[in-house]
Structure 1
Amino acid sequence: MSGLGHLVRNNGQGFLVAVVVAVAAQFLSEHYGAPAMLMALLLGIAFHFLSEEVSCKPGIEFTSRTVLRFGVALLGARISVELIVGLGPQLIFVVIAAVILTILFGFLGARVLGRGWRFGILTGGSVAICGASAAMAISAVLPKNEHSERNLIFTVLSVTVLSTVAMIAYPILTEIFEFNDEVSGVFLGGTIHDVAQVVGAGFSVSEETGEVATLVKLIRVAMLAPVVLVISVLVRRNFADQMDGKRPPILPFFVIGFLIFAALNSIGLIPAGVVELLSSLSRWSLLISIAAVGMKTSLKRILDVGGQAIALIVAETVFIAVFVLLCVALLGH
């Protein structure tokens, strides 16, 4: 109990500030239609000065790190083997290929543009998998440098904005190209970055499109654990000299948590009501942690990223959209 008391005393104020920002972001999202993640990030940046307060700083650090990992672990409760198998082998292959190739595209694109390899993997992974959640999970296993927090904030901000634009624009494209409900669902679920925006875009087209889009998106979310594991192993093996003596574990605990929840859900040990509860808890954990991440970074540092970074993340977004479209066309869906 003394350890818990010490944890609360040290981190309580910073954590509560992040909670207040997250609640405000959710309120704005519900009443004005703006993405909650984007609102939490922007409000967090506005309260950057709190990260320099002695009473709040430890809690903000704790929230941006530990609460984030907790939220990512709980994402596993959404995943099940039955859900994945239901998509069919061909489309599963397309989704997996899209994720892998988009990350490689980001890595190579960053090298071509003279950006660091960390930035390419971070942006590629966030675009390929599940937007802000993936960006934060991948950032947790990458070795840190002076640009790490700035790049994370930029990535979360960019993928959230791009995902919102896609939520509006992509359903219009499905009408222009006269896709049927299944093709529309595969396209929307396979290309839009954040889960909430996929749901919004899919169900704005039709009920069936919304269901297919959500299913495809959750397959991408399921890729989070293996991608983080592979990145962690490769970083330990090939970039030890860039890690200042700190090596991430081969299998981070939040990835283990993700896999455990996915396994329990797959064998039916988590009731549907509990899955909803865990999904909601995961969402709030990620919302609170992104508010804390925003508080740690100044707006000036984000603006220092430059036009090349914007070009890269837009190019990754276009790449995954074109790839999924071509694959669906070739498969005859």
Structure 2
Amino acid sequence: MFPGFAVSVLVAATAQFLSEHYGAPAMLLALLLGLALNFLADKGTRTAPGIEFTARTVLRLGVALLGARISVDMLAGLGGPAIALVIAGVVLTIGFALVASRFVGRKWRFALLTGGSVAICGASAAMAIAAVLPRHEKSERDLVFTVLCVTVLSTVAMVIYPMLAQVFHFDARDSGVFLGGTIHDVAQVVGAGFSISPETGDTATLVKLIRVSMLAPVVLCFSLVIRQMGLADEIVGGKRPPLMPGFVIGFLVLAAANSVGLIPQIVAEWAGGLSRWALLIAIAAVGIKTSLGRMVEVGAGAIVLIVAETVFLGVFIVAGLHFMG
């Protein structure tokens, strides 16, 4: 396993270095660098087994460790209406994705993948949801396409959304709810929030973590519905997705432990940093596994769908903030 894992770590470290020096998102850079090294994932190469292991197991470790950043206490500080608005945004965006996908010729798997990633936490959610969807011959391609799109859209939103918050005359708190409730990836939420003010940055991060906390119940619901409707049997060369994936259990256990104060603050911060690195290494491996030529096959309809989901979520959160006064 070591050669493939080592290559993935090297790509992730390179992406982080470039991100720190040139300002581009590390996730996006890891994905693009990985795509350029697709030949390392060819069958028969020494690196192929380790790349496969990293894309699957290290990814799940990263998602599980996200739970250490979640606690019940953080919900109380935001207030019921704002929490309800954020949760409604997650649920309705996924529902919108299922409806809109039919108009662009995409199937339910792609709708759940893109809708969940836009609604919850971008690349992290996309990779977690992909782990419980029935696999088919285009699973890897759809995952990389989704991660690429939501990362690019997050970067664009990080620049544009703070200006929109001023146009809408939001105060610091509402700006934080707007940014945290609409931007896909955590890093871009932090960047956009603190570009306005420290208060906005703190609120945006809190709201974003509430969206992240929706990852476990959403993944579990997807798994239950897929099994209940018999869709888990629609598989090409794979096996039934798990009812309750181990990484989701890990996410919930860590979140519960953090809620009752069993995880010291310094350990939670360490787990958050380790989670970020695990996800960065995993997305590098996913990029290496994916052929750039196959990405072109996705089509314009898929791009339209992800952009429409992003716009829908943004409009919903803005409307909700105005409705709450």
Partner in structure 2 of residue 212 of structure 1: 203
Partner in structure 2 of residue 116 of structure 1: 107
Cα drift, residue 249 of structure 1? 2.1
Partner in structure 2 of residue 194 of structure 1: 185
Partner in structure 1 of residue 281 of structure 2: 288
Aligned-residue Cα RMSD (Å) equals 0.9
Q: Secondary structure in 1 aligned to 2:180?
A: helix
* Aligned length, in residue pairs: 322
Cα drift, residue 331 of structure 1? 0.7
2:49 counterpart (55, 58, 62): 58
Which deviations, in whole Å up to 9, do the C-alpha atoms of 1:135-157 show, x marking residues without a partner? 00000000011111110000000
Cα drift, residue 293 of structure 1? 0.1
Q: Secondary structure in 1 aligned to 2:298?
A: coil
**Partners in 2 of 1:288 and 1:228 — Cα distance?**
22
Question: Does the alignment pair 1:309 with 2:313?
Answer: no
Mapping for residues 30-69 of structure 1, pairs under 5 Å:
30-52=20-42, 53-69=44-60
Identity of aligned residues (%): 66
Q: Secondary structure in 1 aligned to 2:143?
A: helix
**Partners in 2 of 1:164 and 1:247 — Cα distance?**
35
Q: Taking structure 2 as the reference length, what is the TM-score of the superposition?
A: 0.98
Cα drift, residue 85 of structure 1? 2.0
Mapping for residues 69-148 of structure 1, pairs under 5 Å:
69-148=60-139
**Partners in 2 of 1:204 and 1:60 — Cα distance?**
37
Corresponding letter in the other structure for 2:55: S
**Partners in 1 of 2:187 and 2:233 — Cα distance?**
39
1:325 counterpart (315, 318, 321): 318
Cα drift, residue 298 of structure 1? 1.1
Cα drift, residue 235 of structure 1? 1.2
2:167 counterpart (166, 176, 183): 176
Corresponding letter in the other structure for 1:281: L
Q: Taking structure 1 as the reference length, what is the TM-score of the superposition?
A: 0.95
Cα drift, residue 109 of structure 1? 1.1
Partner in structure 2 of residue 4 of structure 1: none
**Partners in 2 of 1:88 and 1:251 — Cα distance?**
30
Whether the aligned pair in 1 keeps the contact of 2:173 and 2:200 (CA below 8 Å) is yes
Structure 2 gap segments, 5+ residues each: none
Question: Does the alignment pair 1:278 with 2:271?
Answer: yes
Cα drift, residue 95 of structure 1? 0.8
**Partners in 2 of 1:241 and 1:286 — Cα distance?**
29
Q: Secondary structure in 2 aligned to 1:269?
A: coil
1:268 counterpart (261, 275, 287): 261
Partner in structure 2 of residue 24 of structure 1: 14
Which deviations, in whole Å up to 9, do the C-alpha atoms of 1:269-295 show, x marking residues without a partner? 111110111000000000000000000
Which deviations, in whole Å up to 9, do the C-alpha atoms of 1:74-128 show, x marking residues without a partner? 0000100000122111111111110011011111111222111110110000000
Whether the aligned pair in 1 keeps the contact of 2:233 and 2:240 (CA below 8 Å) is no
Partner in structure 1 of residue 233 of structure 2: 241
Cα drift, residue 175 of structure 1? 1.6
Whether the aligned pair in 1 keeps the contact of 2:232 and 2:241 (CA below 8 Å) is no
Q: 4+ residue runs of structure 1 moved beyond 3 angstroms? A: none
Cα drift, residue 316 of structure 1? 0.3
Whether the aligned pair in 1 keeps the contact of 2:181 and 2:211 (CA below 8 Å) is yes
Cα drift, residue 247 of structure 1? 1.7
**Partners in 1 of 2:78 and 2:250 — Cα distance?**
24
Cα drift, residue 177 of structure 1? 2.0
Whether the aligned pair in 1 keeps the contact of 2:36 and 2:288 (CA below 8 Å) is yes
**Partners in 1 of 2:126 and 2:242 — Cα distance?**
18
Cα drift, residue 195 of structure 1? 0.3
**Partners in 2 of 1:247 and 1:48 — Cα distance?**
27
Partner in structure 2 of residue 6 of structure 1: none
